[in-house]
Amino acid sequence: MPASQNYEAFFRRSIDDRDAFWAEQAQGVDWHQPYDRVCNYDRPPFARWFEGGLTNLCHNAVDRHLKGRAEQNALIFVSTETNTEKAYSFKELQQEVQRFAAIYQSLGVKKGDRVLIYMPMIAEACFAMLAAVRLGAVHTVVFGGFASHALASRIDDATPTVIVSADAGMRGGKVVPYKHLLDEAIELAGHKPASVVMVNRGLADLAPVAGRDVDYAALREQFLDAQVPCEWVDSTHPSYILYTSGTTGKPKGVQRDTGGYCVALAASMKHIYQGEPGETFFSTSDIGWVVGHSYIIYGPLINGMATIMYEGLPTRPDAGIWWSLVEKYKVSVMFSAPTAARVLKKQDPAYLTQYDLSSLKALFLAGEPLDEPTATWMADAIKKPIIDNYWQTETGWPIMAICNGVEPAPTKFGSPGKAVYGFDVRLIDETTGEEITEPNRKGVIAAEGPLPPGCLQTIWGDDARYVKTYWSSIHGRTMYSTFDWGVKDADGYFFILGRTDDVINVAGHRLGTREIEESISSHPNVAEVAVVGMADQLKGQVAVAFVVLKDASRAADPASAREQEQAIMKTVDEQLGAVARPAMVRFVGTLPKTRSGKLLRRAIQAVCEGRDPGDLTTMDDPAALQQIRDQLA
Ligand code: PRX
């Protein structure tokens, strides 16, 4: 159906007539029992959406589509690593999810219990997620690229009853074993899960732990005919926890509700992504990240679309692989990250055009800044609209986008578009806390509460941290901070100018520099360390570490410095995972700090990027910055 509304009016209504607006959007999902109140904001900043309503995410993603599209594709699993391709219809998906739910039940999982999922991109990971929410259990998916320490801290925070994992993932033809990392993590963690469900792909050694590890395939056999009904839960019942990085070393468990999330995703499919039921959605992200949650699993399925889960690289067997899937499965909406586009840009553009892309309506890119040359190259190569959209793990769906499903609007290079309906976005002057109303002046991107449905309810187990972190950083006001800088032009288009905090974005992967610093500090030779993000042509940013050694002579010559660098990188690999490994480690005698001992990260970053640190520092110790310059030379 062509869109024919006025976006400005649509947006205003979402803010000024909030409850009526969202009540309309809520008609897009099934309610077992209607809600009493659209938004309870009696206790700011805690918003309770669709209070009193009973629903279930798995019902909305799977069961309700059995009427009318039972035989249509729901999940299409493609691995170019193991050369596997398998499509599941909605009926088959429901069957697999019920089997998984029965396995959970046999292991004692009940409503509200946590299930931790540490899995590669395989169909069973999708079953494990949907089966958890089917029972009203809360899943927490940990990105498969994280190693034992990162996993252990999440196990201790979420205290799962059951962990689901697999023997290994694969990347670029290489097996990436998971099991020993998981065993190590459980060893390190204070909390011990009662059971571990292992999916055996036959790729790596499993070494089951007696009394704890159970075999997925064997259990599945026992529950082939299982019928496990959806547990109707309160709209505000948590559906999942997804850990993300912040300004401390301790990851934050972003807690999402059920009903609000379901409504927000259903609405976004209509107004932003414009996928129709029966079509195919292809998001190239990973289930370990928020894009994977919202737009590999829940968004497309809630909308009655088939979704592709892809394990492999965008360039293997060749750079045409994604586009061959677009042709084969008639993908209508595709979602990826700018880094992937930059990777493809290095390949022959002929790969992108040798397939029939006529089904494709648009390619959405998010997760990091989209540079103009990449956007232009991509648009020219595939001859489809490239639509940038800006959001965060916290929000679960876009804060800024072009809502072509409401009213078609032009894109502007370098801009993810306008504020999305529901988000009362404001730009705030960092020093005065005042709102910036004139165009093109830089400020912190913030939002007035309540945040719309689908955004984080709180930080798991830590309401105080939620309030302190997100709602207390704007002087004298209770406003949500995105911790991103931005400007808005006279037409209402935003431009994102980077983070205000210590979070960095490496190839679209969000990482906390503090977490990396803590890991490096654990190396016995390290006295002090500063990690900053440095601009990188391909990955957007890379992490760079500056280390003060306890014994400087250990890095006195290039060979020993290289040895130390490798030892430090290995520590990060083992504790956090290769995804967090700094691109380089450099050794200095001292780190630049303020008089009160605070690290001058922004100044270090400026030096790394060849910018003038200017007034970022009231330098007591210019020699410290000079050392950093020398190390980079
Ligand atoms: O700094 C912004 C950047 O990524 C951060 C959120 O990352 P994450 O929690 O992993 O969620 C990604 C969801 C797509 C933001 O605070 N970011 C995200 N999208 C964009 C972006 N920066 C510029 N342009 C974008 N489109």
Q: Report DSSP letters for 351-416, one per residue.
A: HHHSS--TT--EEEEESS---HHHHHHHHHHH-S-EEEEB--TTTSS-SEE--TTTS-----TT--
Q: For residue 619, what pLDDT band results from cuts at 50, 70 and 90?
A: low
- Say how many CA atoms lie within 13 Å of 88 toward its Cβ: 23
Report the separation in Å between the CA atom of 391 and the middle of ligand 1, taken as the mean of its atom positions: 5
3-state helix, strand, coil in the chain (%, to 5): 35, 25, 40
Q: How far apart are CA 141 and CA 144, in angstroms?
A: 9
pLDDT tens per residue, range 518-538? 999 999 999 999 999 999 999
Ligand 1 atom with the smallest distance to the CA of 416 is 26
Write out pLDDT tens, residues 68-85: 999 999 999 999 999 999
Which pairs count as long-range contacts for 559-562, CB under 8 Å and 24+ apart, including other chains?
A: 561/587
Would you list the domain boundaries of the chain? 7-312+389-483, 507-632
pTM: 0.95
Q: How far apart are CA 46 and CA 470, in angstroms?
A: 11
Integer Cα distance of 352 and 222 in angstroms:
45
% pLDDT > 70, the chain: 98
Is residue 532 helix, strand or coil?
Answer: strand
Lookup: tokens for 384: 């489809």
Using only the alpha carbons of the chain, give its radius of gyration: 24
For ligand 1, pick from 391, 412, 425, 515 the residue to mutate: most ligand atoms within 8 Å of CB: 391
How many whole angstroms from 20 Cα to the centroid of ligand 1?
29
Structure confidence by residue, pLDDT tens digits, 104-137: 999 999 999 999 999 999 999 999 999 999 999 9
Ligand 1 pocket test target in 141, 335, 364, 368 with most atoms within 8 Å of CB: 368
pLDDT exceeds 50 at position 456: yes
Distance 497 CA to ligand 1 centre (A): 11
Ligand 1 pocket, residue 393 CB under 6 Å: yes
Other residues' Cβ atoms within 10 Å of the Cβ of residue 302: 28
Ligand 1 center–CA 584 separation, angstroms: 24
Question: H-helix or E-strand containing 602?
Answer: helix 601-608
Closest CA to 400 of 422, 420, 381: 420
Task: Report the alpha-carbon distance of residue 53 to residue 488 in Å, rounded.
Answer: 37
**Measuring CA to CA, which residue among 352, 358, 417 is closest to residue 380?**
352
CA distance 206 to 103: 19
What confidence score (pLDDT) does residue 1 get?
Answer: 45
Give me the pLDDT at residue 621, please.
67
The CATH number of 7-312+389-483, from 3.65.10.10, 1.10.3720.10, 3.40.50.12780, 3.40.1030.10, is 3.40.50.12780
**pLDDT tens figures, 131-144:** 999 999 999 999 99
**What does the alpha-carbon distance between residue 484 and residue 421 come to, in Å, rounded to a whole number?**
19
Query: Does ligand 1 lie within 6 Å of residue 291's CB atom?
Result: yes
Per-residue pLDDT band for 620 (boundaries 50, 70, 90) equals low
The closest residue, in CA terms, to atom 7 on ligand 1 is 392
- How many helices and strands in the chain, by DSSP H and E? 21, 32
CB contact at 8 A, 398 and 367:
no
Nearby residues of 562 by Cβ (< 8 Å), 6 or more positions away: none
On whether the CB atoms of residues 479 and 469 are closer than 8 A, the answer is no
Residue with tokens 């979070």: 503
**Architecture (CATH level 2) of domain 507-632:** 2-Layer Sandwich (3.30)
- Beta strands 174-177 and 195-199: pairing type? unpaired
Q: Write down the pLDDT at residue 172.
A: 94
Ligand 1 and 306: CB distance under 6 A: no
Q: How far is the CA of 541 from the centre of ligand 1 (A)?
A: 13
